[in-house]
Structure 1
């Protein structure tokens, strides 16, 4: 039995038997940072001592057994430590459960009270090991937490629902998270649900699918009349599609080595249950149809957009669809004519500094924020034709006007691709913007000029798997950080994608809104 009685007093000590084998006795010690189990009963094989960091603790529970005649109580503690530290394939998490039997007292209520005391202490000290940002504990979800989990059963290889049943449901239960599963039935189903539901029922919205379902959810939140509070609802992402770019980015931001498939799912599930809530940038995008929408991942034109959409026919291959699509498009490489202009990060800062020296807050001299109305901001077509809300764009002028004079206009008119990224990954295995973070307030703009050979372009994408494409010193690749951009396609036909979804082809412009949304992350 533990010696100390105070909840916040550590260390705690105790000697208990394993729930699966009452002949095996263990000493258990809880410190501020570790949960230590030492086997007291000799064993010819197997472990003798295990030390778990409380950073790897997903949850724990105290409970009474099914046998009402048994006076014992039980404590189960769930860890997901990293494994394969020296493996070249990357570090992944594996589940470890410790379950102990408390039977030192004759009455079951007393044993259960002791087990619950341990459970509370484990939860408290595990919570104190959360990651910190700039030395300050970041925002956390409440406990107990209520989550709406949205699953697209058709995403990727059509295995999302199976993956939820095999992995995520158990992890959420172990973490003590109350959740309700909603299976989407059609395109824009998730968008309609989050647009119309009472969000006070939920502490977080979790998307288990590819990136397209999150695109629906974000724009659904911004169609609400209470969009300012709705868009701050914490969002969680679990990989269940083909690309899984945001899920891969979230894992990457933790500093862990690259993983994929089920290992990525378990990593993101762990972050969902344990991670703090961080700010995430959104990008406001204006289309030629006067539509305004919000993006969390990318804007693409040319080679990347073509591969993304044309590879839909290979969806049954999962992430391999993009490899096949890339090879097919390389065989008939296209040139795309257009005009590209942008506001560099450095130039915008100079403008801000000049206004600051005059003692005035910075405003784009080309745009009056007071004059922006719903008609200018546009709306997203939906079944109910609701308007999309959101913050005004202070860096953009209407598409029928020339870009501001202080913007940079790219002299080239012939491109192979234009890609604007705001997260690190373009797909699960494509590290497009290694320097990106969730809320850096930056659009990472890439474009490839015409004249590149098929071999050089293939080399770029192969290097992108490790985020090494910029180190290839390809003379046709240009990379810059911007706050806003405008793209005007001149080719009569083509594909534009936002977060992997096709949008109306034509002139488009974008502006980043720093930290507008919230993401549960590491």
Structure 2
């Protein structure tokens, strides 16, 4: 047999690279016992154990035992921790309890006793280091979490949900946790105002969307508010009736799965919105609404027993009543054409897909860092100041037939309610939806049905804009339609009375109306809203985008040409 001389070898072969690749393969596989190996695969740990058998499904008349080697995988995302203690290697991971996409998870273990030698333990330690690098990637390990539990959240079950479903996930991931129950309204505001921001990486609210709203506004009260809001990530452990923050950032409202997503969450800048009324300034992270959405939420508190159906019921009653909410409105519009909005969304998603591991500020450029102390100054003043003359502002314009004013900073207001499909976490813009209140009842019902289908955005009667700021002057009772609206509200009151919801809905609009910020009731009076890009911080599965599908058809756009 002819021997190959060095001069005959492939000159393009890098022998050193081949050896490195072989070494990497060897180092990726760890033998644990005589018949078991743990291998670092592309996106999961592969457990191959000849000592664990399962039936193959075939047995020749029961005479020949048929067994197969047991192999299972643990996705890196589900790996919580790994360590060696007294010669035992243990991997703790979050295991789904079913195959459902929204399945809860519980802590499970892979455990093996290592060979009793220094070299075996050193090799295992190196393997664990590589495993944790893959399991956490750019996510922070051992997060320091301040947990605030609303004992009244989730029909009074929030504390139980936290103890049973969330706390074990944090413990297995070796997070440092300090849990505290809130005792009264705005207690979370007080706690966060006095929080040591150097002691915690995350404030997690075991609640609905109300507690994250309080946490953000508590941090905003600090003398160094801008620093606090960027340093401490505000997240939600979904335990309430409204879990929009969790749906948008983690794609779930299942508490244990959301806890896993927080353990693996990436720090993500989030636009925050200043809402000014009189001399009061409030920060918002989710939405601002006036009209049918606000009334369907806040005006149905007395029928909470209906669960999520109360919102749909309230919405339908007001649709059929064709209630109007007269206002005067001025808007600083950035993008108005729906196709241009889709193109903007597509470009932002493409930018993040191409960026790989780049940080958010590398993608968007410098964030709003005009102050290192308190909140950033209001670029357009308050609602009490003269309207800005900057380019892009419309004049104050009467809107006597407004049916719905809805501003969104996140895509989903609930699991099946993607009202703002083009919303992005930190593009420095709000998504504004306005709809006339005198559209036909058939159109109105079609609108309601279009939201979960993802076709709401493209409806002709939906005006959808990307905006920087808005000023609204409610004119209820002053601009025609008072008697007509009163008749409609009396009809609503009678319907609510029939189902045992006396009082709260009947005179709501007649007495002044509802204005909602993040689902919290605010005074029904003039207001102005303004966006601050990247002022807040959250944890998300994917930096720069929400866990949503986007406006229909955006994937088909050529981001270079917009066609």
TM-score, structure 1 length as denominator?
A: 0.76
Match of 1:73 among 67, 85, 88: 88
Which deviates more, 411-420 or 45-54? 45-54
Identify the residue that residue 486 of structure 1 maps to in structure 2: 471
**Counterpart in the other structure of 1:519:** 538
CA gap of 1:397–1:199, structure 2 versus 1, over 3 A, is closer
Alpha-carbon offset, residue 467 of structure 1: 2.8
Corresponding residue for 2:30?
13
Q: Any idea what SS the aligned residue of 2:450 has?
A: helix
Contact persistence 1:27–1:40 (CA under 8 A): no
> Which is worse superposed, 90-99 or 432-441?
90-99
1:184 counterpart = 2:171: no
Residue aligned with 1:170, SS = helix
Once the two structures are TM-superposed, the CA of residue 204 in structure 1 deviates from its matched residue by: 1.4
- Describe the shift of the 1:413–1:501 C-alpha distance in structure 2 as closer, same or farther (beyond 3 A): same
Task: Go from structure 1 to structure 2 and tell me whether the alpha carbon gap of 1:181 and 1:114 turns closer, same or farther (over 3 Å shift).
Answer: farther
CA contact (8 A) 1:156 1:316 kept: no
Say if 1:58 and 1:319 are closer, same or farther in 2 by CA, change over 3 A. farther
CA contact (8 A) 2:235 2:245 kept: no
**Pair 1:54-2:76 in alignment:** yes
* 1:390 and 2:375 are equivalent in the alignment: yes
Secondary structure at the aligned position of 1:471 is classed as coil
Match of 2:544 in 1: none
1:204 to 202, 205, 230: 202
**Residue 408 (structure 1) aligns with:** 394
CA distance in 2, matches of 1:8, 1:81: 29
C-alpha distance after superposition, 1:453-482 (max 9, x if no partner)? 334223212221233212343x3x211111
1:450: which partner in 2?
437
- Tell me if the contact between 2:435 and 2:463 (Cα under 8 Å) persists in the aligned partners: yes
Pairwise CA distance, 1:452: 1.7
Residues 211 and 445 of structure 1: CA distance in aligned 2, closer, same or farther (over 3 Å): same
How big is each residue's C-alpha offset from its partner over 1:112-157, in whole Å with a ceiling of 9 and x where there is no partner? 77765544332123233x4xxxxxxxxx43x332110111111232
Cα distance in 1 for partners of 2:525, 2:74 equals 55
Secondary structure of 1:266 counterpart: helix
Aligned-partner Cα distance in 2 for 1:215–1:91 = 25
Match status 1:469 vs 2:456: yes
Secondary structure of 1:345's partner?
strand
Per-residue deviation, 1:94: 4.4
For the 8 Å contact 1:149–1:208, the answer to whether it is kept is yes
* 2:306 aligned with 1:308: no
Deviation per CA, 1:33-77, whole angstroms, max 9, x where unpaired? 43111131343269821233323323334335xxxxxxx524133
Distance 1:14 1:471 in 2: 57
Q: Which range is displaced more, 236-245 or 55-64? A: 55-64
- Write the mapping of 1:339-378 to structure 2, written as runs, cut at 5 A: 339-346=328-335
Which residue is 2:260 aligned to?
Answer: 270
Q: Distance in 2 between matches of 1:519 and 1:246?
A: 10
How many residue pairs were aligned?
Answer: 439
Residue 243 of structure 1, CA deviation: 1.6
Change (3 A) 1:16 1:9: closer
Other structure's SS at 2:453 match: coil
Deviation at 1:92, TM superposition (A): 4.9
Provide structure 1 residue ranges, at least 5 long, that are not aligned to the other structure. Answer: 1-5, 18-24, 65-71, 131-139, 253-258, 348-371, 374-387
CA distance in 2, matches of 1:243, 1:310: 15
Q: Secondary structure in 2 aligned to 1:52?
A: strand
Contact 2:289 2:516 in 1 (8 A): yes
Q: Please say if 1:503 is aligned against 2:522.
A: yes
Name the counterpart of 2:113. Answer: 102
Aligned partner of 1:165 in structure 2 is: 163
**Higher deviation after alignment, 93-102 or 496-505:** 93-102
Instruction: Describe the SS at the equivalent of 2:154.
Output: coil
1:315 and 1:425 mapped to 2: Cα distance? 20
- 1:26 aligns with 36
The 1:327/1:346 distance shift into structure 2, 3 A limit, reads: closer
Does the residue aligned with 2:54 lie in a helix, a strand or coil?
coil
Task: Specify the SS of the correspondent of 2:262.
Answer: helix
Shift of 1:403: 4.8
Mapped contact 1:16–1:100 kept (Cα < 8 A): no
Greater alpha carbon shift after TM alignment, 509-518 vs 449-458: 449-458
**For structure 2, which runs of at least 5 residues remain unmatched after alignment?**
1-22, 57-67, 337-369, 478-511, 542-563
Rounded to whole Å, the distance in 1 between the matches of 2:77 and 2:470 is 41
Q: Secondary structure at the match of 1:278?
A: strand
Give the TM-score, by structure 2 length: 0.71
Secondary structure of the residue aligned to 1:464 is helix
1:157 aligned counterpart, secondary structure: helix
User: CA separation in 2, counterparts of 1:267 and 1:461?
Assistant: 29
Secondary structure, aligned partner of 2:300: helix
Partner Cα separation in structure 2 for residue 191 and residue 432 of structure 1: 28
Verify the 8 A CA contact 1:60 1:174 in the aligned structure 2: no
- Whole-Å Cα distance in 1 between the matches of residues 167 and 24 of structure 2? 29
